[in-house]
Structure 1
Amino acid sequence: MKTDKVDAEVLAQLLRCDYLPSVWVPDATTRVMRQLTSRRERLVSEQTRLMNRIQSVLAGLLVVVPVKTLFSQEGQLWLSECELPAHERALIESDLRLIQTVRQEIEGVEKSLREEAWKIPHVRLLMTIPGFDYCTAVTLMAALGDLSRFKDGDQAASYLGLVPSIKQSANTCSYGSITKQGNSHARWMLTQAAQNMARHPGPLGVSFRRLAKRKCWNVAVCATARKLVTIAWLMLKNNEPYRYASPTTTQHKLTRLRVAVTGQQRKAKHKGRRPGVKNGQNPPTRQVPSLNQVCEQEALPPAHGFEQLPTGEQKILRTLGVIEYVQEIQSERRIPRTIRSKKKTPQ
């Protein structure tokens, strides 16, 4: 009892002298986002487990699936017509009913996630990053919480376990794989977003492809995921969209979110009907807005132009050879419209 009094007194003195580190407590909005993202993760994992169980039953019967994706519309049609023993058919039908129930729950959670994402402007700001949808943006914001806790983006990346582990002994220092500390779901979502950089024409895409050639695919994915966290931290701190986002893709992502939540579709401004193809002349074109036009339409702050960038960043862009792409996304232009041939329905 006497020891407890001494310990309490020591703690009180340490608290009075501000020697005890404070613990950050998430606010109500962050707690809601964490609960929704965690719930969605578990439901998706349950859906994957049920799908694998159905494929396991088919593999046990040595049934070869003739379609590319079993759970597509074509695959479900084949599965319903496939001749199976009565016991295995009952197991598959049971799992299919469970998958349908889980999908309905996922849709409900995603609806709540979209509503939360629409309320927070920073979520739409993060959606300008290639590979980021509202789920990835909400997951990252829920994992990081208050950005003032981190001195820079490197600390945020370390908090999510995306930095290499270090082993030191005397004068030797060796680097290993990433630490994998922190929120594993947010780290997984970031690595999934990083893999989209393999096809992106911007500076991150060029860096990804160069690193993948020199090292390996997984190293490039982890390094790009770490860069994404650093970029996201800077974007939220400076309240600025991603400078090298594709305007068309960004507009489609933000439009889908707006229509899903509010049902409002922005009316296009028609400047008269352009002539169609005639004798190989006047091919139909479509107008592609600039990145700042997309940001203005979606009530986001504008991105910096090439002339406004720091000298060091301009030098890196020249080294990577993406100057033309940067100038292209900063100006409005017209590109040829792809004419899709109509497929004739068989009589």
Structure 2
Amino acid sequence: MRFVPPKSTDQLAVQAVHRIRRRLIADRVRLANQIRGLLSEHGIVIARDISQLRRGLSIIAGSTDDSLSDLVRSLMRELQAELTEIDYRIAVYDREIREIFRTSDQCQRLGKIEGIGPVTATALIAAVGDRSCFKNGRQFAAWLGLVPKQRSSRGRARLFGISKRGDRYLRTLTIHGARAGGKQDPRSLWLDKLRQRRHPNVAAVALANKNARIVWAMLSAGTFYESALAVTAT
């Protein structure tokens, strides 16, 4: 088992920002689910998209033509205000993360990788610290839980789904970032071909694994991202 060295004060501060933001996002998800559940009991169904929920609440709060009672409508206004407050607090932490990203050379370099933005870059730098504790990119990807589980018997190696070990937050960020596509560079074309052969989730994990190895290579060598070499990176 490998352990990441103790983190600096700055790294711990950045991690605190991420943890508070993550908790607020979880609170927003729980609140949104409760609002949808309450409205569905009155025959009002709102799509799962958070923007649709905001628009729906605005209409409900200002309308008197539906079947909602005055008490329920008053409760919806309170929940709308609570949702607005959470949105505002998340936006504050998003601005803080963008400022950290803007002032960090390492984060700026990682941000050049397709699928890694300010949130993922700052979270990786804050969590990893000293890159020398990993011998290669595969160990770093394994630390993130992005490599397949392996079981060997009689000289035969059987590969299963990813191990999902390590930090779930970092793994989620890298996989969600890998889902972005639509470009025509060699790396995106490679991903499009992979999506044609495999399930989109498998393709996203494969790209997240590749991104993790690229991150380790860049941090360990102090180099910049070169998209022309990304397709063959291992």
**TM-score range relative to shorter protein:** 0.7 to 0.9
Deviation at 1:224, TM superposition (A): 0.6
Deviation at 1:114, TM superposition (A): 2.6
Q: What is the alpha-carbon distance in structure 2 between the residues aligned to residue 109 and residue 65 of structure 1?
A: 27
Deviation at 1:94, TM superposition (A): 2.3
Deviation at 1:100, TM superposition (A): 2.0
Matches within 5 A, 1:107-146: 107-146=91-130
Secondary structure of the residue aligned to 1:157 is helix
Identity of aligned residues (%): 26
Matches within 5 A, 1:265-304: none
Q: 1:201 to 1:241 in 2, by over 3 A?
A: farther
Q: What is the alpha-carbon distance in structure 1 between the residues aligned to residue 57 and residue 33 of structure 2?
A: 15
Deviation at 1:52, TM superposition (A): 1.6
- Aligned counterpart in structure 2 of residue 185 of structure 1, from 146, 169, 177: 169
**Which blocks of at least 5 consecutive residues in structure 2 are unaligned?**
none
What is the match of residue 53 of structure 2?
Answer: 71
Deviation at 1:70, TM superposition (A): 2.1
Deviation at 1:137, TM superposition (A): 0.8
Secondary structure of the residue aligned to 1:200 is coil
What is the match of residue 142 of structure 2?
Answer: 158
- Aligned counterpart in structure 1 of residue 37 of structure 2, from 56, 78, 92: 56
Counterpart contact for 1:67–1:75, Cα < 8 Å: no
Q: What TM-score does the superposition give when structure 2 sets the normalisation length? A: 0.86
* The 10-residue stretch of structure 1 (41-50 or 55-64) with the greater mean CA deviation from structure 2: 55-64
- Aligned counterpart in structure 1 of residue 133 of structure 2, from 149, 152, 163: 149
2:205 matches 1:205: no
What is the match of residue 238 of structure 1?
Answer: 221
What is the match of residue 197 of structure 2?
Answer: 214
Deviation at 1:220, TM superposition (A): 0.5
Q: What is the alpha-carbon distance in structure 2 between the residues aligned to residue 100 and residue 31 of structure 1?
A: 28
Deviation at 1:178, TM superposition (A): 0.3
Q: 1:156 to 1:77 in 2, by over 3 A?
A: same
Q: What is the alpha-carbon distance in structure 2 between the residues aligned to residue 148 and residue 66 of structure 1?
A: 47
Counterpart contact for 1:152–1:233, Cα < 8 Å: yes
- Aligned counterpart in structure 2 of residue 33 of structure 1, from 8, 11, 14: 14
Structure whose CA Rg is larger: 1
Matches within 5 A, 1:162-181: 162-181=146-165
Q: Tell me the amino acid that sits aligned with residue 241 of structure 1.
A: F
**Which blocks of at least 5 consecutive residues in structure 1 are unaligned?**
1-20, 245-305, 317-347
Secondary structure of the residue aligned to 1:71 is helix
Secondary structure of the residue aligned to 1:168 is strand
Counterpart contact for 2:60–2:73, Cα < 8 Å: no
Secondary structure of the residue aligned to 1:199 is coil
Q: 1:67 to 1:216 in 2, by over 3 A?
A: closer
Q: What is the alpha-carbon distance in structure 2 between the residues aligned to residue 152 and residue 67 of structure 1?
A: 41
Counterpart contact for 1:144–1:156, Cα < 8 Å: no
The structure showing larger relative contact order (alpha-carbon pairs under 8 Å, at least 6 residues apart) is 2
Q: 1:66 to 1:52 in 2, by over 3 A?
A: closer
Q: What is the alpha-carbon distance in structure 2 between the residues aligned to residue 24 and residue 76 of structure 1?
A: 47
Deviation at 1:240, TM superposition (A): 3.5
Say how many residue pairs are matched.
Answer: 228
Deviation at 1:59, TM superposition (A): 1.2
What is the match of residue 99 of structure 1?
Answer: 83
Please list the CA deviations of residues 106-146 of structure 1 after superposition, one character each: whole Å capped at 9, or x if unmatched. 23322332332233111111111223221111112222221
Deviation at 1:66, TM superposition (A): 8.9
RMSD: 2.7
Deviation at 1:217, TM superposition (A): 1.0
Q: What is the alpha-carbon distance in structure 2 between the residues aligned to residue 59 and residue 118 of structure 1?
A: 43
Q: What is the alpha-carbon distance in structure 2 between the residues aligned to residue 226 and residue 166 of structure 1?
A: 16
* The 10-residue stretch of structure 1 (89-98 or 235-244) with the greater mean CA deviation from structure 2: 235-244
Counterpart contact for 2:120–2:174, Cα < 8 Å: yes
Q: Tell me the amino acid that sits aligned with residue 177 of structure 1.
A: G
